[in-house]
Amino acid sequence: MGALLKGTVRSYDALNGTAEVELYGSHGQYITVPVATHLDGNVVTDGKRCAILSFDEHNTGDAVLVATYNDVFGMGAGPLAEHDHSGSSGSGGVFDVTNLSSPEGAGAGYVLLADGAGGVSFEEPGSLIGGVPAQRATMLHDEALVLSGGALTLGIDGTQIDNYSVQQSGAANGDEFIHGFYLAAGTYLFSVIGKTGPQRGKLDWYLNDVQIASGQDWYSSGATANVVKTVSDVVVEYSGWHLLRGEVNGKNVSSSGYLMTLTKYWFR
């Protein structure tokens, strides 16, 4: 489960688009994280408070810096006084991360973002692109995270789009991978480009753990590059961060294996 963390910028690397951040309450623990593409060196400066969206509670380095802000509330680097941050009055309480990342009355997937006036506000992450909701998302298969099976291997492939293709080593039934992306709520066409062949398996696709395609068959009697398979009318229920998962589930009766050779996939 992801979390929104607070920190202080200690340095910014414009060449690599990363920042070194001291996490709040870490007593000098620094992590290096990528910086969201709408931020630059003008706002990611030494000493600036920042919001870090962490995707893995066990690995704070798997995160992205999504906003910087002025310390107008006097929160500083010291401990927070015990009082209610949940948005309603009360006589004490604890810092409510759930309300911070999804405010009362807002849909799922909201995060804390810079408001352009030196402060922060809760927004849909899809609004990062010039104030227009992100209505398309493209994911490269070599950047997916393997959940089950062998590691992803990238091969130079002159027959395939972008001159490469990616597959899991030791392909087997049950191979599984996952990818994350931002997208606004709506109805989309989901497309996958890869290679069919005599050793390919079938794929099930899940969006936020809801199945959107079953038994997508990548078998063909001969190897064929740049095959695009689509799934129409995919409903994205909320704007924000989403998870796309693919799982090899069976194979065509004529196939001799469970190989899955892909390059990228996208929502439009």
Identify whether residues 86 and 23 lie together within a single domain: yes
Look at residues 85, 101, 123 and tell me which one is the last residue of a structural domain: 123
Identify whether residues 57 and 92 lie together within a single domain: yes
Identify whether residues 143 and 116 lie together within a single domain: no
Contact 113, 128 (CB under 8 A): yes
Strand partners, 216: 203
- Provide the strand spans (E) within the chain: 3-13, 18-23, 30-34, 49-54, 63-69, 111-114, 120-123, 137-140, 145-148, 152-156, 164-168, 176-183, 186-196, 202-207, 210-217, 224-236, 240-248, 261-267
Tally the domains of the chain: 2
CATH number, position 246: 2.60.120.260
Dihedral (CA of 26, 27, 32, 37) sign: positive
Q: In this structure, is residue 132 part of a structural domain?
A: no
Amino acid at 2: G
Q: In this structure, is residue 129 part of a structural domain?
A: no
Q: Indicate the SS3 state at residue 203.
A: strand
Q: In this structure, is residue 31 part of a structural domain?
A: yes
CATH number, position 89: 2.40.50.140
Torsion of CA 45, 183, 263, 150, to 10 degrees: 80
Amino acid at 194: G
Q: What is the chain's pLDDT, residue by residue, as a tens digit (268 residues)?
A: 567 788 889 999 999 899 999 887 776 778 899 998 888 888 899 888 888 888 876 776 788 998 887 654 433 333 333 444 444 434 444 434 334 444 444 444 455 544 444 444 555 544 444 445 578 899 999 999 999 999 999 999 999 988 999 999 999 999 999 998 888 889 999 999 999 999 999 999 999 999 999 999 999 999 999 999 999 999 999 888 889 999 999 999 999 999 999 999 999 9
Structure tokens at 126: 């899809």
Look at residues 97, 123, 149 and tell me which one is the last residue of a structural domain: 123
Block residue for tokens 């414009």: 14
235-245 pLDDT tens trace: 999 888 889 99
Identify whether residues 152 and 263 lie together within a single domain: yes
Identify whether residues 171 and 261 lie together within a single domain: yes
Record the pTM: 0.56
Q: In this structure, is residue 83 part of a structural domain?
A: yes
Identify whether residues 106 and 144 lie together within a single domain: no
Comparing CA positions, the residue from 168, 227, 157, 161 lying closest to residue 194 is 227
Q: In this structure, is residue 131 part of a structural domain?
A: no
Structure tokens at 53: 């969206």
Identify whether residues 170 and 253 lie together within a single domain: yes
87-144 pLDDT tens trace: 443 444 443 433 444 444 444 445 554 444 444 455 554 444 444 557 889 999 999 9
Identify whether residues 118 and 142 lie together within a single domain: no
Identify whether residues 152 and 224 lie together within a single domain: yes
Letter string b/e over residues 144-172, b meaning 16 or more CB atoms within 10 A of that residue's CB = beeeebeebeeeebeebeeebbbbbeebe
Q: In this structure, is residue 204 part of a structural domain?
A: yes
Identify whether residues 205 and 247 lie together within a single domain: yes
Identify whether residues 77 and 186 lie together within a single domain: no
Could you tell me the residue range of the domain that residue 38 belongs to? 3-123
